[in-house]
Amino acid sequence: MEKTDYRGIDYSCGTANRDMETGIRFGVINQNDVGQAWYDASEPYYGEPCCPKCGNDADLSDLLAEDEIKDWEREPHEGEDFGCYSCEYIFGMESAFPESALSFGFDEEGYKAECGANYGDIFVMKSPYFTYAQFCSPCAPGACHLMNPLKEPDENNKCYCFGSDWFMDDKAPYPVYSVATGEEVKQ
C-alpha cells in the first residue's frame, strides 16, 4: 500500500465519527480489504422486533396478560413469541425480524466495529490500535480511510484500526500503533 502526503479535508466540524472520550477518529475500511477475518468474526444484527402489520415495537408474548390476548389474531404456522397491542396480533420470530441482517458488528477484544449490510464499509469505532490515515470523503465526515495511510503521522488524522492479525499473512496495510502505549507495533 502506497502512503500519501495528502491529509484530506475534515468535513466533520470536529465531532462526527470520533470517540469523544479519547479524541481518536473512527477508521473506515471496506470489508473486502479485511476479508475472511471479518466474515468469520462479525455477528449479524436484525434490529429490534416489530409488528409485521403496523411496524410498532413488539412485546414479548410472556409479558402480555393471558386474559387480554386470548382473542387476538395469530399468525398461522408460527410460534407465539411476540405480540402487538395496537393490532391485537400474536406472531413468531419469523415475522418479527427482517429476513436479511441490517448490519454486521464485532464488539470483543477491545474492538467495536460495524458494517452496514448494504454498503460494505466497516467503521472501526473502538480498538486497542490506531494509525494515521487520510480523511474520508464527505460520506463519512471526520473518519479516516484506513487504506490511505499517511507518510508522516498527523495527530489530527489519528484513527482506530484493526491490528495485523485481521489481515492475510498478519500484515496490516498501514502502520499499527498501540492505544495503550502510543508505540508502533511491529508486524
Q: What are the residue ranges spanned by the domains of the chain?
A: 27-45+100-185, 59-96
C-alpha cell at 33: 480489504
- Mind listing the pLDDT tens digit of every residue in the chain (187 residues)? 678 899 999 988 778 999 999 999 999 999 999 989 999 999 999 999 999 999 999 988 776 777 778 889 998 888 888 999 899 999 999 999 999 999 999 999 999 999 998 889 999 999 999 999 999 988 899 999 999 999 999 999 999 999 999 998 899 999 999 999 999 998 7
Please state the three-class secondary structure of 44-113 as a single string: EECCCCECCCCCCECEEHHHCCHHHHCCCEECCCCCCCEEECCCCEEECHHHHCCCCCCEEEECCCCCEE
